[in-house]
Structure 1
Amino acid sequence: MDDMFLSPTKRLVPMLLVSLGLVLGACSNSASNQEGNNKTGNSKNSIEIAFRDFGSGSVGLKEWLNAVKEEFEQQHSDVSVRFVPIQASEGDFFAKLALMVKNEQTAPDIVTEDTFMINSDAAAGNIDPLDKYIEQWDDWKNFNDRVKQGVTAVDGKVYGIPYSTDTRGLWYNVNIFRKAGLPVPWNPKSWDDVLEAAKTIKEKVPGVVPFWANSGKATGEATSMQTFEMLLYGTEDTLYNFDTKKWIVKSQGFLDSLEFIHQIYSNDLGPELSQVLTGKAGDIVQTELMPKEKVGIVLNGNWVPGVWREGGPSPWPEGTEVYKLTAMPTQHGQDPGFTSMSGGWALSIPSKADNKDLAWEFIKLATSEKYNKLYVLKQGDLTPRLDVAEDPEVLNAPGSVTKEAASFIKFTHFRPGVDKYPAVSTAIQAAVEAVATGSLSPKEAMEQYAREVTRVVGKENVEVRK
């Protein structure tokens, strides 16, 4: 491993290592403690940046960070930047990061923060508000206001600077569709259209997976947000009632969303469970099944072509000619006709970081127009910046679906920005996996979800929608 990448287990003091082992098991990046029990970031001329290393999907992220590091160290000749990649499933990443930031000896100076964690981490005191910096930062006006909402906590303060956002839709293989006698271009108007297309593929094009959607606990938020909430927010129901400030634990839309998943798996329209219930499911579909044209329809995000770009983990120049992105319809085609979910990532400063001012200087550079443009070109995410969003090089990048994906923003939805969401999301994942495996019926899975969420948030904070 390059010496600028510092394994998190090298940095943990002995007692924290014991805790980490008891709670999470040994870290996959175990290494000697030669670099010491003392946090390298204790030096005023060093900053550390912790991020989730999630395999092939992190290639562009690392290229971006390395480029920013190079210029930052040129600008600050007495400062060194160290990366702390955390190789873990989504749930383990958040747990490990929480342990790191709570301890003064291990807290990095910057963390990559999934925006759905902003509220819970802010409420826990794990990250600092950045308002004192933003007030003196003229560049903040160049960020999309809707994306800014995702990094603003319920206290009205900003806890991260976004470097990406996204939308989700349906990828479909034009060759498989033509073999199946399905229309190209494809613009489904309801869930029934999607299910009928999947059934037709199963019948007419054997040997391919008709429909893919992340469906297991191991894929974390990609299951709860990217699959379940893409369905739920296409019904008349939502997860949370902002008027009553209560979680909706039972609703027809919730049940219908689980029923859709049941239809996929009970009719053999989905992938093998061994493929989709693993934490590597994202890699399997993006780097294996799609390039081999072994899947007809994939419920996924705009970032997929980033994996196929030249120099990426699975180069496939013609990928966006073979797979096209179309909008996910609402359940019955009701207004506005389509739905999407958006999230993204931000750079935040832990409350126990040593070098907060230096960390802020790095964040400003990393999220500048120059480097955000580099990031979105390398990674394939949508930009949170207004100027980069209009850049012709970004809009017309080979293999890009930026125009199509950005058009989904007008009907997109965001996860509830309340601090209990991560725990609720875990309950969603369990319900989806139970239905996918057939261990629970959709109604039983909804009952299980209702019990778990009620336990987590309290009876007074839930409601049932008739």
Structure 2
Amino acid sequence: MPTEPTGPTRQALPPSRPRGFSRRALPGAAGAGLLAGPLLSACGSARAPGSLQVSFQEWGGGEATARFLDSAAAEFMAARPGTSVEVIPLVAPENDYFTKNELMMASARTTPDIVYEDTFILRADIAAGYLRPLDDYIADWPLWDAYVDVAQDAVRDEDGRVYAIPGPTDTRAIWYHRRVLERAGIELPWNPRTWDDVLDTARAIRDRVPDVVPALFYSGKAQGEKASMQGLQMLFNGTGSVLYDEDTRRWTTGAAGMRSSLRFLHTLYGEGLGPPLEAALDPNLTETVYTSWMPEGTVGMVVDGNWIAQHWDDWPEWDSELGLARMPTQHGQGRGFVTLSGGMAWSLPALAPDPDLTWQLLSTMMSTANATSWTVGDNKLANRSDVAAAPGYAGYSPVTGFFTDLVPHADYRPALAPYPQISSAIQAATEAVMTGAASPEAAADGYDAALVDIVGIEATTPEVAT
């Protein structure tokens, strides 16, 4: 007779080693070959019935997610005697985590029952055949309708089916140092309306406040996805161009917005308005920014997300010393501002043996109480109406209201299988202009060429001038 577990099991796996293949090749021929073996030979999990596993990324601060999972797993097991839940933290940086996650899902013997998916690579794993659609489950789950539309869209495949349940989210804006802007003669509160307003403020800081980095837009390959998301796409999405056209289902070449965005970065670095190159290309730049530049007032403005306040436990004055402004569109057109959301989501691997029981665990994890506790504990934002209205959410951080108000207006990155490679091409283009290795026009042409190489000419379309 099974005994009732007293708490979830925690199994820590070692950091990933470099693999001999790229995860970005999985949806193609190589990916099909990799997946074919496990699919054809899947002979079931060796785990006992009622034994479930949940994996997640634990890297650079996954403590809040670990606490959330342990608590939800204990709640689930207490309500279902005889079940067990093993929480598996995958200790790996981003790209290694994606690879480790996919290798585990590729076999019925190793797959967890619930996995932690980044929404921007979700469709890559769908295309590889790793994930199970959840439409039959969410049809009877009342909390699905509590999600804002953009969160629901972020976990759908192109065929409209849902493959994940979103976790809490984030948004991005311009953090600025009030004291630095005041010394530069900028009136507060600062609310830039155009890109020129941002550049003019950066020039004022450069000219009037010595020994301060005027502005930081993450750029270059060393900054990884931050260079794509917090850097170029916070500009690009305010131009009227699109990376991917949802109507034609084609990637855009010759985008005027790409050239405009790269010109902005070229100006920023060419005029000494950004950080020195040795700092900008340092893979540890974010740690320097959060723990040194911002608390010490040696940077004027930083385009970044709501979550960064979690780094300032030893800086209680941060709320009075920092201000927030929406990132303006290029000319103030449209709604006048841009923000991007990201976030992780929970998926059910296709080869996991007991999806019905697993769904009961997932719905326990994402109950209103558990989702609220996780959101607050991890300095994230609500993308569900029930969490946003829950006691303790609205006031958990001084900036919660500002960033939560941006959630319904957020853009998401194209959640398509080729996006990780395309993001790398974006990072390379930003590095080319910031270092002066290429003009904005040449860097944009290089991006177009890389895009065609990644997706094929038939999956692209030139932007039509308007």
Which TM-score band (shorter chain)? 0.7 to 0.9
Give the structure 2 partner of residue 180 of structure 1: 184
Counterparts of 1:373-388 in structure 2 under 5 Å? Answer: 373-388=372-387
**Please, which of 59, 66, 77 is the counterpart of residue 54 of structure 1?**
59
Shift of 1:103: 2.6
Shift of 1:366: 1.7
Pair 1:230 & 2:229 matched: no
Counterparts of 1:211-222 in structure 2 under 5 Å? Answer: 211-222=215-226
- C-alpha separation in 2, matches of 1:41 and 1:199: 63
Shift of 1:107: 1.9
| Cα deviation code 1:73-132 (max 9, x no counterpart) | 433444443333334332332233222221333322211111122222112111111112
Give the structure 2 partner of residue 307 of structure 1: 311
* Counterpart contact for 1:90–1:219, Cα < 8 Å: no
**Please, which of 409, 412, 415 is the counterpart of residue 410 of structure 2?**
412
* Counterpart contact for 1:162–1:367, Cα < 8 Å: no
Report the CA distance shift for 1:214/1:52 in structure 2 as closer, same or farther (over 3 A).
Answer: farther
- C-alpha separation in 2, matches of 1:262 and 1:146: 32
Counterparts of 1:146-161 in structure 2 under 5 Å? Answer: 146-161=150-165
| Cα deviation code 1:431-460 (max 9, x no counterpart) | 122222332222221111111110111112
- C-alpha separation in 2, matches of 1:259 and 1:9: 39
* Counterpart contact for 2:216–2:275, Cα < 8 Å: yes
* Counterpart contact for 2:167–2:344, Cα < 8 Å: yes
Shift of 1:160: 0.5
Counterparts of 1:64-463 in structure 2 under 5 Å? Answer: 64-308=68-312, 314-397=313-396, 399-463=397-461
Give the structure 2 partner of residue 4 of structure 1: 10
Cα RMSD for the two superposed structures = 2.6
| Cα deviation code 1:262-308 (max 9, x no counterpart) | 12222222224444434443333223322233221010112222333
Give the structure 1 partner of residue 32 of structure 2: none
| Cα deviation code 1:378-403 (max 9, x no counterpart) | 11211121111123521122x33121
Give the structure 1 partner of residue 26 of structure 2: none
| Cα deviation code 1:325-352 (max 9, x no counterpart) | 2100011111221111122221111112
- C-alpha separation in 2, matches of 1:106 and 1:288: 42
Shift of 1:416: 2.5
- Count of residues in Structure 1 that have an aligned counterpart in Structure 2: 437
| Cα deviation code 1:198-231 (max 9, x no counterpart) | 1222222222222122213343322212221110
* Counterpart contact for 2:181–2:205, Cα < 8 Å: yes
- C-alpha separation in 2, matches of 1:280 and 1:357: 43
Unaligned regions of 5+ residues in structure 1, if any? 11-16, 25-38, 309-313
Question: SS in structure 2 opposite 1:43?
Answer: coil
Question: SS in structure 1 opposite 2:324?
Answer: strand
| Cα deviation code 1:39-70 (max 9, x no counterpart) | 997333433222222314x3332332233233
- C-alpha separation in 2, matches of 1:21 and 1:417: 24
* Counterpart contact for 2:56–2:115, Cα < 8 Å: yes
- C-alpha separation in 2, matches of 1:43 and 1:202: 64
- C-alpha separation in 1, matches of 2:214 and 2:228: 21
Whichever residue aligns with residue 429 of structure 1, its letter is: Q
* Counterpart contact for 2:220–2:430, Cα < 8 Å: yes
- C-alpha separation in 1, matches of 2:399 and 2:376: 11
Whichever residue aligns with residue 10 of structure 2, its letter is: M
- C-alpha separation in 2, matches of 1:458 and 1:385: 38
- C-alpha separation in 2, matches of 1:219 and 1:73: 41
* Counterpart contact for 2:146–2:386, Cα < 8 Å: yes
Shift of 1:170: 0.4
- C-alpha separation in 2, matches of 1:275 and 1:53: 26
* Counterpart contact for 1:116–1:417, Cα < 8 Å: yes
Identity of counterpart residues, as a percentage? 37
Structure 1 segments (4+ residues) deviating >6 Å: none
Unaligned regions of 5+ residues in structure 2, if any? 1-7, 23-43
